[in-house]
Amino acid sequence: MLTPDQLDHFQENGYVILDPVVSPTEFEALRQRCDDITQGRIQHEGMWFQKDIGGSEYKLGPGGKFDGPSDNYRKIEGWENDPLFLQYMQHPVFRGITKQMMGEQVRVYRAMFMNKPPKLGTVLPYHQDGGTGWRLSSVDGNDFLTVWNALDAATIENGCVEVVPGSHKLGLLSERGHTISKEHEEAYAKTSVFLELEIGQVAVLHNFLLHRSDINKTDRSRRGFSVCYIDGKVHRLDAPDHPGFPIIFGPGALTVEDAQARMTA
């Protein structure tokens, strides 16, 4: 669980930084698994891939199935299918935080690898994670929590996440959510903080916190692993009887053993 001071910082600023929750050796195994996935040495059903096209404009390329070995994947979703990453996602620290924030049963809305390749990376303008575009039964900011893990050191030069402290208190600035208007940016994004992280450090983020990131100006990748945990009661609006989001904590949760069995089948 977050300590009282950490919880106060999160509630006031919309984020809090944690030290690594696993040993350097364990975290290095996660980094290696990322290489195995991006290079096609390990493949899982249910993963979605999108390559980075780079640039100073918010423009994204198409996505789909694995498209061959590459260091230039921008986003890969579906990491709950990998037993090593599933075990990390279910770490007792994350269990404690999500129980503290949401309750006993918790689902994962998305678990994704985010990458800014060397001298590339796509600019992300200020945005919020939520809104009607997510097609969920609730858009209450207390139903969501994102945990961002630094697979590589994240710096200003390589495009670390930049946040506007306290902006989560504004609520959603547009009904649909995500990117905000130029007027909102001028009004609310006057003061920002760069979340520079060492390898293995963790940023716990409120989903309504305004955040952005720049391109990567360095010769080294800036990879992150982002997990959005949601309250287990939240379901898809288009399929209320079939939530479609895997249970990560609580009754019926995914198991590492099942993921391992699928991997070796």
Contacts of 90 (CB under 8 A, 6+ apart): 248, 249, 253, 254, 256
pLDDT tens, position by position, for the chain (265 residues)? 899 999 999 999 999 999 999 999 999 999 999 999 999 999 999 999 999 988 777 888 899 999 999 999 999 999 999 999 999 999 999 999 999 999 999 999 999 999 999 999 999 999 999 888 888 887 677 899 999 999 999 999 999 999 999 999 999 998 776 789 999 999 999 999 999 999 999 999 999 999 999 999 999 999 999 999 999 988 888 766 666 799 999 999 999 999 999 886 5
For the chain, how far is it from start to end, CA to CA, in angstroms? 36
Predicted local distance difference test score (pLDDT) of residue 265? 56
Predicted local distance difference test score (pLDDT) of residue 204? 98
Instruction: Report the alpha-carbon distance of residue 251 to residue 80 in Å, rounded.
Output: 17
Predicted local distance difference test score (pLDDT) of residue 60? 84
Predicted local distance difference test score (pLDDT) of residue 1? 87
Contacts of 258 (CB under 8 A, 6+ apart): none
Predicted local distance difference test score (pLDDT) of residue 240? 64
Predicted local distance difference test score (pLDDT) of residue 263? 81
Predicted local distance difference test score (pLDDT) of residue 131? 82
Instruction: Report the alpha-carbon distance of residue 171 to residue 183 in Å, rounded.
Output: 16
Instruction: Report the alpha-carbon distance of residue 130 to residue 138 in Å, rounded.
Output: 10
Give the angle subtended at the CA of 129 by the CAs of 174 and 200, to the nearest 5°: 155
Predicted local distance difference test score (pLDDT) of residue 242? 60
Query: Fold for domain 4-264?
Result: Jelly Rolls (2.60.120)
Predicted local distance difference test score (pLDDT) of residue 243? 60
Predicted local distance difference test score (pLDDT) of residue 175? 75
Predicted local distance difference test score (pLDDT) of residue 63? 93
Domain ranges of the chain: 4-264
Predicted local distance difference test score (pLDDT) of residue 57? 78
Please choose, from the candidates 171, 30, 33, the residue with its C-alpha nearest in 3D space to the C-alpha of residue 91: 30
